[in-house]
Amino acid sequence: MKTKSRRKSLKPETSRICLGNYSLQNFRQALFNENKPYIKRSNWIGRMALFNLTVLMVSFPFALGGVILWLVTSLGQESWFLMIYKVLLALVLVSGFALFIILFVLHRFLVPLRAYHYSDTRNAKIHVGLTAYNDEICIADAVKDFKQNPLVDRVIVIDNNSKDNTYGAAVEGGTDFVFKEYNQGYGACCMRALEEAAHGLADDDIVILCEGDMTFSGNDISKFLSYIENCDIVLGTRATQELRATNTQMDWLINPANQVVAKMIQARFWGTRLTDVGCTYRAIRVGAYRRLKPYLWVRGNHFSPHMFIEALKMRMRVVEIPVVFKIRSGESKGVGSNKVKAARVALRMLRLLYAA
């Protein structure tokens, strides 16, 4: 029989929340209800911030272009040019100032900060859900990588209509369950992985979502656990260069593009630091997943930000941590190899953000 090693809590005893006669679940519900009146207000303030950031991002390059034209051509003598230039300059100054006021004054005084929260994870069960699509070449190694971690109770693989022997390879790798997901798409596969991994778990248990392509490391689970003591969702970020192999999909274009979209989401949901929008590797408390589940619907490649945008709309505590990111084994089906596909996915992510 498998024995699970006991993790040492990283927090001193004094930092525990005293629950008295209340269950942890009641306490969580109380925190959620406490946030409820501010959900609407923080969403409106966030939309105003995003609007001003958009105006700033669009007008700034034009204003810069205007300065260059003014310096190197004789357009500075034309009254129509000066008029356009003044409008652009006004847009930059007004939107920049408004953004500053919204984020650092309005937000600070109209939306209360989320209270510090701690809940023990020592007795939490941990189930890992791995996505797989024609990943015969790597899924067995990915399963073994997570199974070798003594903190993990169960590894589940979701086979998304693979044409190769992904199913057999997952079984060979020692997975506890393999499920077939017939709705095609990265998002559909992730949603099924979350659902199957959460099955039979209590609200305080933890589900880890990851890709079965060996880009991530099973050893990183302890990092997620250190932070999930204090929040509902821990997202991985692949933006930390020191933890990333060279020649991964996070190249000269994907990495900065990810960071720009992440910062736009950060402005919209001020208070949560974000640097990556496409990292599948994440941990979520099962209770938080159950609250979030009715709002998850994206089946495509833009599922990753969709999940945390919905969580942030509900004012869940979301923390991002650096994770190891390696070169993919096997063929890339996502944005890794195709910049046109990457641009399409980025536009869908932005559409989600503006609709939020």
The span from the CA of 42 to the CA of 338, in Å, is 36
When CB distances are held under 5 to 8 angstroms depending on the partner's kind, the choice from ligand GTP, Mg ion, none that residue 274 binds is none
Q: Which stretch binds ligand GTP (CB under 6 A): 2-10, 37-45, 194-202, 211-219?
A: 211-219
When CB distances are held under 5 to 8 angstroms depending on the partner's kind, the choice from ligand GTP, Mg ion, none that residue 233 binds is none
Residues linked to residue 192 through DSSP beta bridges, in sequence order? none
When CB distances are held under 5 to 8 angstroms depending on the partner's kind, the choice from ligand GTP, Mg ion, none that residue 196 binds is none
DSSP letters for 33-68: HHHHHHHHHHHHHHHHHHHHHHHHHHHHHHHHHHHH
Q: Which of residues 306-345 bind ligand GTP (CB under 6 A)?
A: 328, 332-336
When CB distances are held under 5 to 8 angstroms depending on the partner's kind, the choice from ligand GTP, Mg ion, none that residue 166 binds is none
Using the rule CB under 5 A, is 213 a contact of Mg ion?
Answer: yes
DSSP letters for 289-331: HHHHGGG----STTHHHHHHHHHHHTT--EEEEE--B-PPSS-
Using the rule CB under 6 A, is 249 a contact of ligand GTP?
Answer: yes
Contact 107, 266 (CB under 8 A): no
Within 13 A of 242's CA, how many CA atoms are on the CB side?
A: 1
When CB distances are held under 5 to 8 angstroms depending on the partner's kind, the choice from ligand GTP, Mg ion, none that residue 189 binds is ligand GTP
Using the rule CB under 5 A, is 211 a contact of Mg ion?
Answer: yes
Residues in contact with 39: Cβ distance below 8 Å, sequence separation at least 6, in sequence order: 313, 314, 315
CB atoms within 10 A of CB 294: 8
Minimum Å gap between C-beta 228 and Mg ion is: 22
The span from the CA of 193 to the CA of 304, in Å, is 13
Site string for Mg ion, 93-132 (x = CB under 5 A): ----------------------------------------
Q: Which positions lie near ligand GTP, rule CB under 6 A?
A: 131-133, 135, 160, 184-186, 189, 211-213, 215, 249, 301, 328, 332-336
Interacting residues with Mg ion (CB under 5 A): 211, 213, 215
